[in-house]
Amino acid sequence: MDRDWMVLLQGNQLGKVVETNRTTAQYGLTLTEEEARLILQERKSALQEQKRVEFGDSITPRIIYEFCDSDFIDQNNYVETIVRLQEIFYLYKNEMMDEISDDELLHLMKEQFEEICFGDLDYLEGTCLNNFAQAVRAGYHGYETTEGRGKASAFDEVKRWDYDLYLETLRDLCWK
């Protein structure tokens, strides 16, 4: 009897993940039921690895909705990317000591994934979010007023090039 509610909950989660196809199909992304099961199984493993418990709805559909319009995700890397994003999400919920809300972390992850990491999950996990987590642990709360939006570059270690400066330099080189 104790296992019955767990089976029902897992079935409900599966339905919610498969239901994301209604939105993601417009971006060329769909999941089969088998792929959705795999994603949820990997979610379970990530939760166990991070020693976390998730009550209520799974974060998985929210990750899917947040990232489905990314220029760096296509049908070929969709399942693997969602699995990895789940792992990164749970890792950084711990690393930020649950100081940051789910929405704030999702927005921050998406912004960094798109604007700084250009789809590189290793860079997202190992550098961008690590730097941000250190700031949060040190007491930074600047993300709270924007729900994590607009904060991606706040702790970026890499000096980005300036497009206008690039054009000016290119003009100088071409007309010399």
Q: What is the DSSP letter of 26?
A: G
Query: pTM of the predicted model, to two decimals?
Result: 0.81
Number of domains in the chain: 2
The pLDDT assigned to 173 comes to 76
Domain boundary among 95, 118, 138: 95
Looking at the structure, tell me whether residues 74 and 139 fall in a common domain: no
The pLDDT assigned to 12 comes to 82
Looking at the structure, tell me whether residues 1 and 28 fall in a common domain: yes
Q: Three-class SS of residue 32? A: coil
Domain boundary among 71, 95, 119: 95
Looking at the structure, tell me whether residues 91 and 105 fall in a common domain: no
Joined together, the tokens standing for residue 124 give 């997202």
Looking at the structure, tell me whether residues 83 and 112 fall in a common domain: no
Q: Under 8 Å CB-to-CB from 28, ≥6 apart: which residues?
A: 74, 75
Looking at the structure, tell me whether residues 78 and 19 fall in a common domain: yes
Query: What pLDDT tens digit does each residue of the chain (176 aa) get?
Result: 455 444 444 448 899 999 999 999 999 999 999 999 999 999 999 999 999 988 778 899 999 999 999 999 999 999 999 999 999 999 999 999 989 999 999 999 999 999 889 999 999 999 989 998 998 898 888 777 777 777 666 666 655 556 566 667 767 777 65
The pLDDT assigned to 140 comes to 82
What is d(CA 67, CA 156) in angstroms, rounded to the nearest whole number? 21
Looking at the structure, tell me whether residues 105 and 55 fall in a common domain: no
The residue segments making up the domain with residue 81 are 1-95
DSSP string, 46-72: HHHHTT----SS-SHHHHHHHHTT-TT
CA 20, 124, 129: angle at the middle one, nearest 5? Answer: 105
Torsion sign across C-alpha atoms 117, 140, 86, 110 = negative
The pLDDT assigned to 60 comes to 96
Q: What are the tens digits of pLDDT across the range 82-116?
A: 999 999 999 999 999 989 999 999 999 999 999 88
The pLDDT assigned to 9 comes to 47
Looking at the structure, tell me whether residues 83 and 56 fall in a common domain: yes
Looking at the structure, tell me whether residues 146 and 115 fall in a common domain: yes
Q: What is the CA radius of gyration of the chain?
A: 19
What is d(CA 115, CA 150) in angstroms, rounded to the nearest whole number? 10
Q: What is the rounded (10 degree) CA torsion for 10, 13, 14, 18?
A: 180
Looking at the structure, tell me whether residues 76 and 151 fall in a common domain: no
Domain boundary among 60, 78, 95: 95
Looking at the structure, tell me whether residues 146 and 83 fall in a common domain: no
Looking at the structure, tell me whether residues 54 and 30 fall in a common domain: yes
The pLDDT assigned to 156 comes to 62
Q: Three-class SS of residue 4? A: helix
Looking at the structure, tell me whether residues 127 and 54 fall in a common domain: no
